[in-house]
Amino acid sequence: MEKVIFIGAGDHCKNILSFFRFNKNFNIYGITDPNSKVDQIFNIPILGSDELLESLYKEKKVKYAFVTVGGTGDNKLRAILFEKAKKIGFDFINIYHPNSIVSQDLKVGVGNLFMAGSIINSNVSIGDNNIINTGAIIEHDVRIGNHTHIAPGVTLGGGVEVGDLSHIGIGATVIQGVKIGTNSIVGAGAVVLKDVADNSVVVGVPAKLLKLKD
């Protein structure tokens, strides 16, 4: 089996390990996290800080990585960790929960997570390092960039576009054809009826601008 290192030891990591530790193609070598207060999760060891990544790649011959840091609105840390591991030379896997439903014509990058009950319909394009969380529905012809989080219960209508680093909150609905800009947040339960500009936070039904991000 190939060895993979997980980057981040929080609750999001625990969710992934709850099913991925049974994967027959990859052996989880360990987890890096500079702030972990435990020494293992599901018997997978916490090895230490992210500064170990280079030695794990060069000396321990761990060739695959996966960012297991979650996101509650700010995906920049996930992006930084992904790019750091990529620069070292790691390849990235995609992780599919066995109960996710993914169209065979999905165009997908690397480092993506598809959690239980997520549905990806036809002609969808997804970049790198995205979280498609529990029960999210991604309809036909959707375009998702890099380092985004599509939270549990989200529905993206046909032809929606989501820019890099954006976060679509729990239970939000984005109607067909709407464009969500880069580094934006759609609040939990919002219903988005029109385009959202870059660096915007929108909330409510229908969704309205709450503020611009710094």
Domain containing 174: what range?
96-212
Q: Which residue blocks in the chain are alpha helix, DSSP H? A: 11-20, 53-58, 76-88
Low-confidence stretches of the chain (pLDDT beneath 50)? none
CATH number where 62 lies: 3.40.50.20
What's the confidence (pLDDT) of residue 72?
A: 76
CATH number where 202 lies: 2.160.10.10
As annotated, the active-site residues are 140
Count how many domains the chain has: 2
CA pair distance 166, 21, nearest whole angstrom: 29
Q: What is the pTM of this model?
A: 0.97
Domain boundary among 70, 93, 116: 93
Q: Which residue blocks in 21-172 are alpha helix, DSSP H? A: 53-58, 76-88
Does the annotation flag 149 for ligand binding? Answer: yes
Same domain, 39 and 74: yes
Same domain, 156 and 81: no
Domain boundary among 76, 93, 110: 93
Cα-Cα-Cα-Cα dihedral of 114, 78, 20, 186, to 10°? -30
What's the confidence (pLDDT) of residue 16?
A: 98
Domain boundary among 93, 117, 148: 93
Same domain, 119 and 202: yes
Residue 138 near residue 113 (C-beta atoms within 8 A):
no
Does the annotation flag 111 for ligand binding? Answer: no
pLDDT digits (tens, 9 = 90+) for 137-187: 999 999 999 999 999 999 999 999 999 999 999 999 999 999 999 999 999
Does the annotation flag 97 for ligand binding? Answer: no
Same domain, 77 and 102: no
Same domain, 103 and 63: no
Same domain, 85 and 104: no
Same domain, 88 and 123: no
